[in-house]
Structure 1
Amino acid sequence: MENKQRKLIIPLADGQYEFILAKGPDVVTYLSNGIVDLGIVGSDILMEQNVSGYQLLDLNVGKCQFILASTTDFNPTSAGRKVIGTKYPRVAQEYFARLGQDVEIIKIEGSVELAPLVGLADAIIDITETGTTLRENNLQIYDWLAKISTRLVVNPLALKQKKNEIFQLVDQLAQVI
């Protein structure tokens, strides 16, 4: 896969497996439509798309965390409706619902950290690995929501039809993790 160029479908030399390169949010779509048997995707995407079943293995890579962050003058306990910028509206809504807070969610696809800096949002729900971007932009973490990592997920039908082969691969992957 080192010299994949711009190919999106890459067969392995032994012909046993074929890799399809897709963006994270599309992995669940390919799985649920029966296009692929297995997928590798971040648990952030699984949480946002509300996919809880069929996670076979935590690959222990891509580790980061969901956080609530904002400028230093933000008060997460203040009264009033807050505006939250995020790539993850479902995760944000569920978080604030657990806190009993009504918030307005603004979906942002790019640099989420920009939202509180320019006044688009009071705070953000985002993922962070090291916090460097937050620190460099004078943003503070107010809460840690959930740990995130990359997961191996399976198409339910494929699991029924190819159970032995899938669990053999899972066992092999588990040994090297």
Structure 2
Amino acid sequence: MGEMLKVAMPKGRIYKQAFKLFREAGISIPEETDDSRRLMISFPEAGMEFILAKPVDVPTYVEYGVADLGVVGKDVLMEENRDVYELLDLGIARCRMSVIASPEWKPVLNPRVATKYPNVASAYFREKGQQVEIIKLNGSIELAPLIGLGDRIVDMVETGQTLRENGLVEQEEIFQITSRLIANRVSYRMKNAEIQKLCDMLQQSIVIES
């Protein structure tokens, strides 16, 4: 048994689904950790230690090697653009990144787009040859069109419930989002056997919908 693998795990909705997947793959993680308030949890029998982080910080932890591996949504991966290996699509926490507006939206010159994902949004509109002003917000993005801060928003959509409740519509899907397993480049070389074994175990339990 090599040294423990350190895994950065996002707190919130991905956490439960990821631990469920790990358990289905035969990795010994007890059920009672699912509502843990701790920031670090160690599972010696699984040879793993989890660092519970804000989703947006996971790729940073992995790039700088304080974590060997990380579980992170494709949305964060695209936005943060960190120097890490993407090993597996885990097929969990499925949703999509979309352009959203109020139903009355009409094209204007140099529109304002509010988002938590300025890099993703800029790249998307640049590709479409559209000039937009990006406004970065950290939460309640749906508010922007309602208070006149932005003509449109770019955000993650899971069921569309929040949009409907706020009278907004999805205009265009930018990309599908699922959670990925990422690795630090050095760890991937130095702990290759352990990482590969984990990937092989997880691979058995992943359900990828086309």
TM-score, normalised via structure 1 length? 0.94
* Gap change, CA 1:15 and 1:50, over 3 Å in 2: closer
Deviation at 1:164, TM superposition (A): 1.4
Q: Give the Cα separation in 1 of the matches to 2:169 and 2:143.
A: 13
* Gap change, CA 1:66 and 1:106, over 3 Å in 2: same
State percent identity of aligned pairs.
45
For residues 64-83 of structure 1, the aligned pairs below 5 Å read 64-75=95-106, 78-83=107-112
Query: In the alignment, what sits opposite 1:12?
Result: 43
Preserved contact between residue 116 and residue 138 of structure 2 (Cα < 8 Å):
yes
Query: In the alignment, what sits opposite 1:141?
Result: 170
**Greater length-normalized contact order (CA 8 Å, ≥ 6 residues apart):** 1
Q: What is the alpha-carbon root mean square deviation over aligned residues?
A: 1.5
Once the two structures are superposed, residues 89-128 of structure 1 have per-residue CA deviations (whole angstroms, 9 ceiling, x without a partner) of 0000001101111111111111101100110100000000
Larger helix proportion of the pair: 2
Q: Does 1:61 align with 2:92?
A: yes
Query: In the alignment, what sits opposite 1:170?
Result: 199
What is the aligned length? 175
Q: Give the Cα separation in 2 of the matches to 1:36 and 1:108.
A: 28
Q: Does 1:44 align with 2:68?
A: no
Deviation at 1:144, TM superposition (A): 0.5
Unpaired runs of at least 5, structure 1: none
Deviation at 1:51, TM superposition (A): 3.8
Q: Give the Cα separation in 2 of the matches to 1:141 and 1:15.
A: 42
For residues 74-153 of structure 1, the aligned pairs below 5 Å read 74-75=105-106, 78-153=107-182
